[in-house]
Structure 1
Amino acid sequence: MPVERSSAGDPARTLELLWRVPADAPRRGPRQRLSIDAVVDVAIDLADAEGLEAPTMRRVAQGLGVAPMTLYTYVPGKAELLDLMLDAVYARMPRTNTAGRPWRERLTAVAEENRALFEAHPWAAAVATGRPPLGPGLMAKYEHELSALDGCGLDDVERDDALTYLLGFVQAHARSAAEAREARRDSAMDDEQWWAANAPLLARVLDPDTYPTASRVGTAAGTAHGSAHSPAHAYTFGLARTLDGLGALIERRVPGAGPGEGRRR
Structure 2
Amino acid sequence: MTREDGSGTPGHDPQQLWLSPGQPRRGRKPAFSREAITTAAVALADAEGLEAVTMRRVAAQVGAGVMSLYSYAPDKDTLLELMVDHVSGELPTSADLTGDWRTDLKTIARLQRANMLRHPWLPAALSTRRSLGPHTLAFLEHALAALRPTGLDGAAKLEIFAQLTAFVAGHVSHELTQAAAAGSPDRAAAEARYLATVAADGHHPELAEALAAPARPLTPEATFTRFLNRLVDGLGTD
Give the TM bin, normalised by the shorter chain: 0.7 to 0.9
| 2:30 matched residue in structure 1 | 32
| 2:229 matched residue in structure 1 | 240
Distance 2:15 2:87 in 1: 16
Structure 2 gaps of 5+ residues are: none
| 1:127 matched residue in structure 2 | 125
Distance 1:41 1:243 in 2: 34
Following superposition, the deviation at residue 77 of structure 1 comes to 1.7
* 8 A Cα contact 2:10 2:77, kept in partner: yes
Letter in 1 for 2:10: G
Q: Residue 107 in 1 paired to residue 98 in 2? A: no
SS of residue paired to 2:150? coil
Q: Residue 9 in 1 paired to residue 10 in 2? A: yes
Residues 215 and 75 (structure 1), Cα distance of their counterparts in 2 relative to 1, 3 Å cut? same
1:85 pairs, out of 83, 99, 111, with 83
| 1:213 matched residue in structure 2 | 206
Distance 2:44 2:178 in 1: 21
| 1:53 matched residue in structure 2 | 51
Q: What stretches of structure 1 move > 6 A for 4+ residues in a row?
A: none
Distance 2:170 2:225 in 1: 13
SS of residue paired to 1:133? coil
Distance 1:201 1:244 in 2: 34
TM-score (norm 1): 0.75
* 8 A Cα contact 2:99 2:149, kept in partner: no
SS of residue paired to 2:149? coil
Partner deviation per Cα, 1:221-257 (whole Å, 9 max, x = no partner):
6x4456xxx64443212211111222xx23x5xxxxx
**Count, aligned residues:** 232
SS of residue paired to 1:53? helix
Following superposition, the deviation at residue 71 of structure 1 comes to 2.2
Identity of aligned residues (%): 33
| 1:156 matched residue in structure 2 | 154
Distance 1:202 1:80 in 2: 44
Partner deviation per Cα, 1:92-127 (whole Å, 9 max, x = no partner):
222362334322211111111111111111111112
Residues 22 and 107 (structure 1), Cα distance of their counterparts in 2 relative to 1, 3 Å cut? closer
Residues 54 and 176 (structure 1), Cα distance of their counterparts in 2 relative to 1, 3 Å cut? same
SS of residue paired to 1:18? helix
Letter in 1 for 2:110: E
The Cα RMSD (Å) is 3.0
Residues 132 and 110 (structure 1), Cα distance of their counterparts in 2 relative to 1, 3 Å cut? farther
* 8 A Cα contact 1:48 1:122, kept in partner: yes
Q: Which moved more, 1:110-119 or 1:121-130?
A: 121-130
* 8 A Cα contact 1:98 1:148, kept in partner: no
SS of residue paired to 2:200? coil
Structure 1 gaps of 5+ residues are: 253-265
* 8 A Cα contact 2:24 2:72, kept in partner: no
1:189 pairs, out of 179, 184, 188, with 184
Letter in 2 for 1:35: S
In terms of Rg, which structure is larger? 1
Following superposition, the deviation at residue 207 of structure 1 comes to 3.5
Following superposition, the deviation at residue 173 of structure 1 comes to 0.9
* 8 A Cα contact 1:110 1:148, kept in partner: no
Distance 1:146 1:57 in 2: 35
